[in-house]
């Protein structure tokens, strides 16, 4: 059951999942890689682990699949504790930024050389690339030819930014988009009570599309106006025992249809 969606993304290697997707005739349009950038350390067996996914995706070149790269989520206790409330004092030093930028380019170059696929960087709460200024810093330090940007509307919002403004600012780097909503009431409670990232997610800060503060209609218009023709991924957090992933996916698809997407 694909709830009306035409493709999927994935965050880990699985032969069973590959077989299932082929059976369902669904495209794999992205695959995620999470790296401890600040420690300048690649995942063990990096290319060996991801080559099966990359090879499978590369066979469907018409879909223009992407490798989605991100700093390791909830890997740093401070960033996890203060996600959604990050200040300039919590960010990286120039030397640390250099390490992160060089690591991201090294992975993107390896992926391109090995598979021909383009890599995009996914800014994410509870990582070192969360706020608008941190996104801008990474983009300024990396090559346009090697590394694109995955705009995530929910993480942009909870990370203290405005997704539409980020789209306009970084449109020339955006090659992949995640549609995710952010509940302003839960976000406000998280700020008031100083919840960590995990508590905020468990409390539903990333709600279903149309139930939060992200202006998807305006974002869709801006993407169309600027000629975006890549994938839009609906990324919905449905925790175990809290709701039905299939029902949530169907409601999100219905919301997108009302936007003519």
- 232-234 and 174-179 strand pairing: parallel
In angstroms, the CA 104 to CA 113 distance is 14
Residue 47 covered by a domain: yes
Record the pTM: 0.87
What tens digit of pLDDT does each residue of 29-41 get? Answer: 566 777 777 766 6
Residue 71 and residue 37 in contact, taking contact as beta carbons nearer than 8 Å: yes
What mean pLDDT do residues 73-77 have? 92
Domain that holds residue 155: 7-258
Q: Is position 203 within any domain?
A: yes
Q: Residue 134: inside a domain, yes or no?
A: yes
Whole-number Å distance between alpha carbons of 214 and 218: 9
Longest dimension (CA), the chain: 49
CATH of the domain at 252: 3.20.20.150
Is residue 191 included in any domain, yes or no? yes
CB 52 within 8 A of CB 18: yes
Domain annotation covers residue 2 = no
C-alpha span between 206 and 8 (Å, rounded):
19
Q: Is residue 55 part of a domain?
A: yes
User: In the chain, how many domains are there?
Assistant: 1
Query: Residue 1: inside a domain, yes or no?
Result: no
CB atoms within 10 A of CB 201: 20
- Cα(181)–Cα(215) distance, rounded to whole angstroms? 9
Alpha carbons 8 and 236: distance in angstroms, whole number = 12
Question: Do residues 253 and 4 lie in contact, with contact meaning Cβ atoms separated by under 8 Å?
Answer: yes
How many C-beta neighbours within 10 Å does residue 229 have? Answer: 7
Asked if the structure places residue 232 within a domain, the reply is yes
pLDDT, one tens digit per residue, over 117-157 is 899 999 999 999 999 999 999 999 999 999 999 999 999 99
């Amino acid at each position: 059951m694909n709830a009306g969606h035409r493709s999927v993304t994935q965050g880990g290697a699985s032969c069973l999942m590959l077989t299932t997707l082929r059976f369902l005739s669904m495209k794999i349009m992205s695959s995620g890689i999470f790296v401890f950038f600040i420690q300048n350390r690649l995942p063990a067996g990096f290319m060996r682990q991801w080559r099966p996914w990359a090879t499978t995706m590369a066979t469907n070149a018409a879909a223009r699949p992407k490798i989605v790269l991100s700093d390791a989520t909830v890997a740093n206790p401070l960033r996890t504790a203060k996600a959604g409330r990050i200040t300039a004092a919590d960010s990286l030093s120039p030397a640390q930024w250099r390490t992160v930028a060089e690591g991201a380019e090294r992975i993107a170059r390896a992926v391109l050389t090995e598979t021909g696929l383009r890599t995009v960087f996914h800014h994410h709460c509870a990582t070192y690339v969360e706020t608008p200024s941190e996104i801008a810093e990474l983009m300024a330090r990396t090559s346009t030819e090697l590394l694109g940007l995955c705009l995530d509307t929910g993480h942009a919002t909870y990370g203290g930014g405005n997704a539409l403004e980020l789209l306009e600012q970084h449109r020339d780097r955006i090659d992949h988009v995640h549609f995710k909503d952010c509940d302003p009431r839960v976000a406000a409670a998280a700020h008031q009570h100083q919840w960590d990232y995990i508590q905020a997610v468990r409390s539903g800060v990333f709600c279903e599309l149309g139930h939060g503060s992200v202006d998807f209609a305006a974002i869709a218009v801006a993407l169309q106006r600027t000629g975006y023709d890549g994938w839009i991924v609906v990324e919905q957090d449905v925790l175990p025992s809290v709701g039905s992933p299939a029902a949530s996916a169907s409601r999100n698809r219905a919301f997108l249809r009302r936007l003519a997407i």
